[in-house]
Copies of this chain bind each other. A is one copy, B any other.
């Protein structure tokens, strides 16, 4: 009887192991109890290693600030795909809050085309850059809102690890324009607005 039960459990694990969900599940399970971000890694001297696996995180929205609408040089060229780590997103769905350890990754890509069979518009070209912001009340206790901002560059090859940016470079703008939404420009991200419990 015990043997049979164990066998069923083993089969169940084998099935889970064979599918895409498992790496996602294990990544989330690796979060330490302290609530700091396990979705990303830091070097011993506090630099953020370039995130991996974020294209399977939860997509929260897209912005396009094309160069041709910004005097030829957008501050964040040009498409911005924003992702949140899945465990923090699950918490956000329950509470509407960004938990300690929340990681938002912004992947940049260029405009590849402005005309397609579906019409005129902006169509993604190649990946160009990567940025991230992390909320952590211990690691970033001196940052406004406890959010630190990192940029791995706006052109390839991306940097492998980077120190956080100065408050003036990133945080200040988020604080000035989005402090009421905990420093996140959720007004531009309908996925975030729809996921918050107050909207259900």
State how many residues of chain A have any CB contact under 8 Å with chain B.
70
A168 at the binding interface (Cβ < 8 Å): no
- Which B residues are CB-close (under 8 A) to A125? 190
- Which B residues are CB-close (under 8 A) to A6? 2, 5-6, 9
Of B19, B28, B117, which is within 8 A of A173 by CB?
B117
A51 at the binding interface (Cβ < 8 Å): no
A189 at the binding interface (Cβ < 8 Å): yes
Cβ contacts A183-195/B at 8 Å (1 or 0 each):
0010111110011
- Which B residues are CB-close (under 8 A) to A116? 63, 65, 185, 188
Stretch of A41-49, A78-86, A137-145, A157-165 on the interface side: A78-86
Contact between A191 and B55, CB atoms less than 8 A apart: yes
Contact between B29 and A69, CB atoms less than 8 A apart: no
Q: Which residue of B lies closest to A92 (CB)?
A: B20
- For chain A residues 79-131, which have a beta carbon within 8 Å of chain B? 79-81, 83, 86-87, 89-90, 109, 112-113, 116-127
Contact between A55 and B58, CB atoms less than 8 A apart: yes
- Which B residues are CB-close (under 8 A) to A89? 20
A75 to B118, CA, bound (A): 7
Count of chain copies:
2
A62 to B185, CA, bound (A): 18
Contact between B65 and A118, CB atoms less than 8 A apart: yes
- Which B residues are CB-close (under 8 A) to A187? 112
Contact between A86 and B117, CB atoms less than 8 A apart: no
Determine how close the nearest CB of chain B comes to the CB of A66; give it in whole angstroms: 6
New A-B contacts (10) at CB < 8 Å, excluding given A16-B25, A61-B81, A112-B188: A9-B13, A21-B25, A55-B191, A55-B194, A62-B62, A63-B116, A65-B119, A65-B120, A70-B119, A126-B190
